[in-house]
Structure 1
Amino acid sequence: MVSPEATPFAKTGGLADVTGALPAALQEVGDEVAVVMPRYRQIPYHETESAFDNMVVFAGSTPYRVDIRTQVHNGVRFFFVEAPYFFDREGIYNVNNRDYTDNHKRFAVLSLAAIGIAQTVFECDILHCHDWQAALTPVYLADQQHSNPRFANVKTVMTIHNMGYQGIFGKAAFSDLGLNWGWFTSDKLEHFGDINLLKAGIQTSDWVTTVSPTYAREIQQPEGGFGLDGVLRSRSMALSGILNGVDYNEWNPETDKFLPANYSSGDLSGKRICKRALLEEFGLPSDNLDRPLIGIVSRFAEQKGFDLIAGIANLVAERDVQLVILGSGEPRFERIFQDWRRWLPHRVGLYTGYNNALAHRIEAGSDIFLMPSLYEPCGLNQIYSLRYGTVPVVRATGGLDDTIQEDTGFKFSWYSVGALYDTLRSALGAFENRDSWTARMRRGMAKDYSWTASAREYSALYQRLLGRG
Structure 2
Amino acid sequence: MRILFVASEGLPFSKTGGLADVLAGLPKALVALGHEVAVVLPRSRGAVEAARVTPRVVVPSLTVGPSDRPRFPAVLGDMVVDGVQYFLLDDPGYFDRESLYGDAAGDYPDNAERYAELSRAAIEIAKHVWLPDVIHCHDWQAALVPVLLRTVYADDPVLAAVRCVLTVHNLGYHGQFPAATLARVGLPESLFHMDRLEFFGDINYLKGGLVYADYLTTVSRRYAREIQTPEVGHGLDGVLATRADRLVGILNGADYAEWNPADDPRIAAAFSAEDLAGKRACRRDLLSEFALPDTAGPVLGMVSRLVDHKGFDLVTEALDALVGLGLTIVLLGSGEARYEIALREFAALHPKRCGVRIGYDEKLAHKIIAGSDMFLMPSHEEPSGLTQLYSLRYGTVPIVRATGGLHDSIEPHDPPRSVGTGFTFTDYTTDAMISCVRRARAAYDDRSRWRQLQLAGMGKDFSWPGSARRYVEVYAAAQVLAADQLVPPPDSGSAHV
* The two structures share one fold, judged by TM-score above 0.5: yes
**Alignment coverage as a number of residue pairs:** 466
Shift of 1:44: 3.1
Question: Aligned pair 1:379/2:385, yes or no?
Answer: yes
Distance (Å, rounded) in 1 between the aligned partners of 2:173 and 2:334: 19
Asked if residue 106 in structure 1 is aligned to residue 119 in structure 2, the reply is: no
Q: Residues 59 and 177 of structure 1 are in contact (CA less than 8 Å); yes or no, is this contact kept in structure 2? A: yes
| Separation in structure 1 between the aligned mates of residue 7 and residue 244 of structure 2, nearest angstrom | 24
* Conserved 8 A contact 2:322-2:434: no
Structure 2 residue matching 1:156: 3-state secondary structure: strand
Aligned counterparts of 2:168 and 2:480: Cα–Cα separation in 1? 24
Amino acid of the residue matched to residue 433 of structure 1? D
Aligned partner of 2:165 among 157, 160, 171: 157
Residues 115 and 141, structure 2, Cα contact 8 Å, conserved in 1:
yes
Amino acid at match of 2:405: G
User: 1:60 and 1:433 mapped to 2: Cα distance?
Assistant: 70
Partners of 1:144 and 1:311 lie apart in 2 by 51
- Contact kept in structure 1, 2:298 and 2:444, CA below 8 Å: yes
Aligned equivalents of 1:41, 1:413: Cα separation in 2: 41
Query: By how many angstroms is 1:97 displaced?
Result: 4.6
Query: Which residue is equivalent to 1:42?
Result: 46
2:325, 2:438 within 8 Å by CA — same for their partners in 1?
A: no
1:85 lines up with 2:93 in the alignment? yes
Distance 2:204 2:38 in 1: 27
Residue in structure 2 matching 1:329, options 331, 335, 339: 335
Q: Which of 288, 296, 311 does residue 305 from structure 1 map onto?
A: 311
**1:455 maps to 2:468:** yes
SS of the residue corresponding to residue 166 of structure 1 reads coil
- Matched residues in 1 for 2:237 and 2:380: separation? 17
Deviation string for 1:267-321 (max 9, x for gaps)?
A: 00000000011101100012x3x32100010000010000111121222332222
1:426 pairs, out of 414, 439, 451, with 439
**Structure 2 match to 1:410:** 423
Moved more, 70-79 or 220-229: 70-79
The Cα offsets for residues 412-435 of structure 1, whole Å up to 9 and x where unpaired, read as 000000000100000000000001
Q: What amino acid is the match of 2:81?
A: H
RMSD value, Cα: 1.2
Give me the identity figure in percent.
Answer: 47
Unaligned runs of 5+ in 2: 413-419, 482-497
Mapped partners of 2:166, 2:40: distance in 1:
15
CA contact (8 A) 2:334 2:359 kept: yes
Letter in 2 for 1:65: F
- Structure 1 residues 252-291: aligned runs within 5 Å: 252-286=260-294, 288=295, 290-291=296-297
Pick from 19, 23, 46 the counterpart of residue 23 of structure 2: 19
Output the TM-score relative to the length of structure 2.
0.92
Amino acid at match of 2:437: L
Partner of 1:68: 75
Offset of residue 112 of structure 1: 0.7
The 5 A counterparts of 1:115-264 are 115-264=123-272
Offset of residue 342 of structure 1: 1.6
CA offsets, 1:162-221, max 9 Å, x none? 011000001121211212211111111111110100000000010110000000000000
Is 1:54 matched up with 2:61?
yes
1:367-405 CA distance string (max 9 Å, x none): 000000000000000000000000000000000000000
1:31 and 1:459 in contact (8 A); partners too: no
| Equivalent residue number for residue 396 of structure 2 | 390
Report the equivalent of 2:494.
Answer: none
Alpha-carbon distance in 2 for matches of 1:408, 1:185:
47
- Decide whether the 8 Å contact of 2:63 with 2:70 is kept in 1: yes
Distance 2:54 2:96 in 1: 16
Aligned residue identity for 1:322: T
Distance 1:60 1:381 in 2: 45
1:145, CA displacement in angstroms?
4.0
Shift of 1:144: 3.7
Which residues of 2 match residues 338-353 of structure 1 at below 5 A?
A: 338-353=344-359
Letter in 1 for 2:404: G
Whole-Å Cα distance in 1 between the matches of residues 130 and 154 of structure 2?
20
CA distance in 1, matches of 2:217, 2:68: 33
Residues 157 and 207 in structure 1, CA contact (< 8 A), matched pair in contact too: yes
Q: Deviation digits for residues 321-377 of structure 1, max 9, x if unmatched?
A: 211010011111111111211211100011111100000000000000000000000
